[in-house]
C-alpha cells in the first residue's frame, strides 16, 4: 500500500519533537530523501547508521556462493608446501612424536586465537586488509604491510608452481629423466643410488651426485656460480611460468565466484593423492622403519628451547596469520556465518595434514633408505630438495613410476595453487575495496593486469642464477615481519578497539558471546607468546646461505630492504595521518585517529542497525566524537552529556511516536517503551521512517496486526 503522505507528516512532527535530542531535520534535502532514503543525512540522530557524509558501501560486493566455499578456501590457503617439505623434517629432527606436544600446545594458545581474531573482524566488516583498518585508522599501514608480503610471496611462489609443471611434463616421457645417468646434462660424477655402476675401477666415485640431484641442478635450474654470474633465461621455465599465471588468472578472474568453485577440486585432491601414496608407501619394504624414525618420541629433546621455538615458528607460518588472506577470504562470508566453527576447523585440519603428510613422506624415505643402504638421516632433508630431489628419486623406484610421479606433482601443483589463490585475492581485493568506484566493475581487467605485473616480476627468477634470488627473497621477505604485524594487530583489536566491544561484534554474527577464554588469550597470553616467538625468530635469523655459496654484502642489504618493506608502512602511514591533522595536540590527534571510523561496521543496513543497537555509552561517545572530528576525551569535556542514555522522561515521547506511526500504517516494534536504552528506540523509529518512506511491503516475520514475530526485527514493512 502507498503511504507517501503519512510518513511525510510524521517526519515533520518527529523532527520537532526530537529537537531536544540533537536530531536535525534539513528540509532542503527532503525531496532527495524520498528519491533515495540512503542518500540523505536528514533527520539523523547521533550515531545513526545512515550518515550523509560517510560512504558505507560503494557497490555490490560479491560473496561466497556455496556453504563450503570459505571453509575449503581457507583449508587450501593454510595447507601449503610447508606442510609437505618442512613439518616432517622438523618433527623427525625435534623429537619425533614428542614434537607434537609443543606443536599442539602452540596450536591452542597461538594459532586458534589469532585465526579466530582475523576471520572474525574480516567477516564482521566485509572488507579486505587495507580498508578494514577503519577499525583503527592510525594503523592502516598494517593492511599495506600485509598486502606487500602477499605480493612479494606471490611472485616466487608461482616459480615453485613453474618448477612443478616442468617436472610434471617431464614425468610424461618414456623414461623418468631423473632416474638414469647418461643424459646430456649428466656429469661423470652421476650415480644411481643402489646401482653397481656407481663404483669405478678405482673405487667409489668421489663427489658423486645422484641422477635426481643432477636433473634438478643441471637440467631444470642450470644454476650458475652465484648472483654475480646471473646467466641467461631458461625458456622452458618461461613457458611454464606463463602457463602457471594463466591458470591463476582463469581461476580468479571473477573473484570468489570462480575460485570458490575451483577449491572444491584443488583443496580436496591433495588428500586423495596423499591417501593413495600412503596406501602404496605402507606396502613398501623399509616403510615401517621410516615411520618409526618419524614418530618415535624422544622426550629429552623437549628440554631444548629451540624445539619449542621451532614448533611455534612452524605453527605460526603454517596456519597463515598476518598475510591478509584470512581477512580477505572471511570478508566474503555472510554476516551470520558461524565463523567460530570455521576458525576451529581449519587450523586443526592444517595440523592433521602436516602429520598425515609426514607419514606419506617417511614411508617412502624408509623405502629409499632400504633400497640404497643409506641410513635414514642421510636420506631425509627439507625444503625444495625434498619434493624435487628426494621424493622424485624414491618415486622412480616404484612400479608404474610415471603414474606415481604424475600424481605427486599434480598434488604439489594444487597445494601451491590454493595458497596462491589466497595471497593473490588479498592483493586484488585490497585495491578494489580501496577504489571501488574505479575497479569493482573491472574485476577481470584488474586481475589480468595484476597477473601480468607479478609475471614480469617473476621473470628474473627463471634465469640460470634465479634460484639465488628466490632463496634471498624467501629468506628475508617475511622472516620477522609477519609476527610483528600479527602482534600489533592483536594489541589494537584487544586494547584499542576494545576486546569487550569485539566480543559483542562476534555475538552479533554467531548469536552468542564467545567463551571468556578467547578474551584473555587475545589480551594477554597470545600477544606475549607472539612476542616470544618473534624474539626467537630474530635470534635464529642468520645471514642467508645456499650450500657453500656466500651471498655478497649488497644482496644482504637488498634482503633487509625486502624485510623492512612490509614493516615501514606502519610508522610511515601513522606519521602521515598525524601530520595531516591540523587541530589539537599530538595526544589529541593520536586519540582521534585510533577511534573507529564512522563508516566502520557491517555492510548491510539491517546488520548495521543491530550493531548500533548494541552500543554502550562509551561506544556512543566514541562514535559521536569521531563524527565531530574530535577525540572522545575532548568531545566529552565539551559535551558532558554525550554518550549517556536518554532519561526515562522521554519514554512518553517514544510511546506517542510509536502510536502515531501505527495509526499511519507504519508498524514499529511494540517493546520500545520497555527498552532500558531509550536512545535505541529513537534510532529504530528514525530508521523505520527513513527506510519506509515510499512503498510498504509487509514482511513474513510479522503478524496480522503488523507486529514483529521475530526477536530483533526492527521493522515490519520495507521498501
Alpha-carbon span 158 to 424, nearest angstrom: 11
What DSSP string runs through 420-460?
A: HHHHHHHHHHHHHHHSHHHHGGGHHHHHHHHHHHHHHHHGG
> Residue 96: left if φ>0, alpha if ψ -120 to 50, beta else—which one?
left
What are φ and ψ of residue 232, in 5° steps?
-115, 170
Residues in the chain: 719
Alpha-carbon span 164 to 384, nearest angstrom: 11
Torsion of CA 386, 387, 391, 392, to 10 degrees: -130
Cβ atoms within 10 Å of 446's Cβ, excluding its own: 19
Location of C-alpha cell 635469523: 541
Alpha-carbon span 84 to 243, nearest angstrom: 24
What's the burial of 25, exposed, middle or buried (CB within 10 Å: 0-12/13-18/19+)?
middle
Binding residues for Na(+): 76, 78-79, 83, 318, 350, 418-419
- Strands 549-550 and 545-546, by their bridges, are antiparallel
What DSSP string runs through 608-676?
A: HHHHHHT--HHHHHHHHHHHTTS-HHHHHHH-TTTTPPPPGGGHHHHHHHHHHHHHTT--B-TTGGG-S
Nearest one of 555, 533, 532 to 544, comparing CA atoms? 555
Residue 548, CA distances (Å) to 189, 226, 471, 545, 603 in order:
19, 11, 14, 7, 55
Alpha-carbon span 115 to 117, nearest angstrom: 5
What DSSP string runs through 281-330?
A: HTTSTTHHHHHHHHH---GGGGG-HHHHHHHHHHHHHHHTTTSSHHHHHH
CA angle at residue 661 from 658 to 665, to 5 degrees?
A: 135
CA angle at residue 87 from 81 to 93, to 5 degrees?
A: 145
CB neighbour list of residue 589: distance below 8 Å, 6 or more residues apart? 578, 581, 631
Alpha-carbon span 432 to 38, nearest angstrom: 22
Contact present, 534 and 487 (Cβ < 8 Å): yes
DSSP helix/strand/coil, 97: helix
Alpha-carbon span 83 to 570, nearest angstrom: 30
Location of C-alpha cell 614493516: 567
Alpha-carbon span 462 to 542, nearest angstrom: 26
Residue 533, CA distances (Å) to 247, 333, 355 in order:
36, 31, 22
DSSP helix/strand/coil, 210: strand
Cβ atoms within 10 Å of 514's Cβ, excluding its own: 18
For the record, the C-alpha cell of 435 comes out as 577504489
What DSSP string runs through 556-607?
A: HHHHHHHHHHTTTHHHHHHHHHHHH--SS-HHHHHHHHTSPPTT-S-SSHHH
Binding residues: 76, 78-79, 83, 318, 350, 418-419
Contact present, 75 and 267 (Cβ < 8 Å): yes
Amino acid at each position: 500500500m502507498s503511504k507517501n503522505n503519512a510518513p511525510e507528516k510524521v517526519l515533520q512532527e518527529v523532527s520537532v519533537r526530537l529537537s531536544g535530542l540533537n536530531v536535525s531535520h534539513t528540509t532542503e534535502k527532503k525531496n532527495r530523501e524520498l528519491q533515495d532514503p540512503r542518500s540523505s543525512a536528514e533527520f539523523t540522530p547521533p550515531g545513526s547508521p545512515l550518515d550523509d557524509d560517510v560512504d558505507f558501501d560503494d557497490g555490490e560486493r560479491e560473496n561466497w556462493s556455496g556453504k563450503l566455499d570459505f571453509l575449503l578456501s581457507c583449508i587450501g590457503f593454510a595447507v601449503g608446501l610447508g606442510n609437505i617439505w618442512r613439518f616432517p623434517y622438523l618433527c623427525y629432527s625435534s623429537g619425533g612424536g614428542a614434537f607434537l606436544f609443543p606443536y599442539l600446545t602452540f596450536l591452542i594458545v597461538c594459532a586458534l586465537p589469532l585465526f579466530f581474531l582475523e576471520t572474525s573482524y574480516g567477516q564482521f566488516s566485509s572488507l579486505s586488509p587495507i580498508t578494514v583498518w577503519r577499525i583503527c585508522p592510525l594503523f592502516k599501514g598494517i593492511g599495506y604491510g600485509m598486502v606487500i608480503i602477499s605480493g612479494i610471496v606471490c611472485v616466487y611462489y608461482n616459480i615453485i608452481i613453474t618448477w612443478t609443471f616442468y617436472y610434471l611434463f617431464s614425468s610424461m616421457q618414456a623414461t623418468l629423466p631423473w632416474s638414469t645417468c647418461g643424459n646430456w646434462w649428466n656429469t661423470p660424477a652421476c650415480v644411481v643410488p643402489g646401482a653397481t655402476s656407481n663404483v669405478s675401477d678405482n673405487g667409489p666415485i668421489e663427489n658423486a651426485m645422484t641422477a635426481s640431484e643432477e636433473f634438478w641442478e643441471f637440467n631444470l635450474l642450470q644454476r650458475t656460480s652465484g648472483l654475480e654470474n646471473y646467466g641467461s633465461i631458461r625458456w622452458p621455465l618461461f613457458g611454464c611460468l606463463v602457463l602457471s599465471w594463466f591458470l591463476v588468472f582463469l581461476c580468479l578472474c571473477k573473484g570468489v565466484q570462480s575460485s570458490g568453485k575451483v577449491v572444491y577440486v584443488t583443496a580436496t585432491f591433495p588428500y586423495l593423492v596423499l591417501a593413495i601414496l600412503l596406501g602404496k608407501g605402507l606396502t613398501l619394504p623399509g616403510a615401517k622403519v621410516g615411520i618409526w624414525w618419524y614418530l618415535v618420541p624422544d622426550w629429552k629433546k623437549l628440554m631444548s628451547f629451540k624445539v619449542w621455538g621451532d614448533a611455534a615458528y612452524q605453527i605460526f607460518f603454517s596456519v597463515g596469520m598476518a598475510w591478509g588472506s584470512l581477512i580477505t577470504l572471511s570478508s566474503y562470508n555472510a554476516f551470520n556465518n558461524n565463523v567460530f566453527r570455521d576458525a576451529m576447523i581449519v587450523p586443526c585440519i592444517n595440523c592433521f595434514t602436516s602429520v598425515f603428510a609426514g607419514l606419506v613422506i617417511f614411508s617412502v624415505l624408509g623405502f629409499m633408505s632400504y633400497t640404497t643402504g643409506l641410513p635414514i638421516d642421510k636420506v631425509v632433508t627439507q625444503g625444495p630438495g625434498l619434493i624435487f630431489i628426494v621424493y622424485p628419486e624414491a618415486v622412480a623406484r616404484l612400479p608404474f613410476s610415471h603414474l606415481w610421479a604424475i600424481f605427486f606433482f599434480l598434488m604439489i601443483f594444487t597445494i601451491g595453487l590454493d595458497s596462491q589463490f589466497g595471497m593473490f585475492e588479498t592483493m586484488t581485493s585490497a585495491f578494489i575495496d580501496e577504489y571501488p568506484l574505479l575497479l569493482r566493475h573491472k574485476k577481470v581487467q584488474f586481475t589480468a593486469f595484476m597477473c601480468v605485473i607479478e609475471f614480469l616480476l617473476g621473470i628474473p627468477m627463471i634465469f640460470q642464477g634465479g634460484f639465488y634470488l628466490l632463496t634471498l627473497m624467501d629468506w628475508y621477505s617475511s622472516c620477522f615481519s609477519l609476527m610483528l604485524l600479527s602482534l600489533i594487530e592483536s594489541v589494537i583489536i584487544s586494547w584499542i578497539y576494545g576486546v569487550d566491544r569485539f566480543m559483542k561484534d562476534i555475538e552479533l554474527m554467531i548469536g552468542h558471546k564467545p567463551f571468556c577464554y578467547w578474551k584473555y588469550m587475545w589480551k594477554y597470553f597470545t600477544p606475549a607468546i607472539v612476542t616470544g616467538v618473534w624474539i626467537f625468530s630474530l635470534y635464529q635469523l642468520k645471514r642467508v646461505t645456499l650450500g657453500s655459496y656466500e651471498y655478497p654484502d649488497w644482496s644482504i642489504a637488498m634482503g633487509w630492504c625486502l624485510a623492512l618493506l612490509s614493516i615501514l608502512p606502519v610508522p610511515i602511514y601513522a606519521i602521515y595521518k598525524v601530520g595531516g591533522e591540523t587541530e589539537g595536540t599530538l595526544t589529541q590527534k593520536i586519540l582521534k585517529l585510533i577511534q573507529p571510523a564512522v563508516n566502520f561496521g557491517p555492510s548491510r543496513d539491517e546488520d548495521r542497525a543491530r550493531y548500533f543497537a548494541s552500543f554502550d555509552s562509551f561506544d556512543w561517545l566514541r562514535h559521536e566524537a569521531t563524527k565531530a572530528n574530535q577525540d572522545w576525551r575532548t568531545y566529552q569535556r565539551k559535551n558532558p552529556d554525550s554518550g549517556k542514555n536518554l532519561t526515562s522522561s522521554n519514554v512518553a515521547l517514544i510511546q506517542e511516536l510509536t502510536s502515531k506511526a501505527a495509526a499511519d500504517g507504519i508498524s514499529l516494534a511494540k517493546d520500545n517503551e520497555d527498552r532500558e536504552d531509550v536512545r535505541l528506540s529513537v534510532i529504530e523509529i528514525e530508521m523505520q521512517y527513513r527506510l519506509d518512506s515510499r512503498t510498504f511491503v509487509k514482511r513474513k516475520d510479522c503478524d496480522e496486526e503488523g507486529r514483529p514475530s521475530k526477536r530483533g526485527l526492527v521493522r515490519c514493512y520495507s521498501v
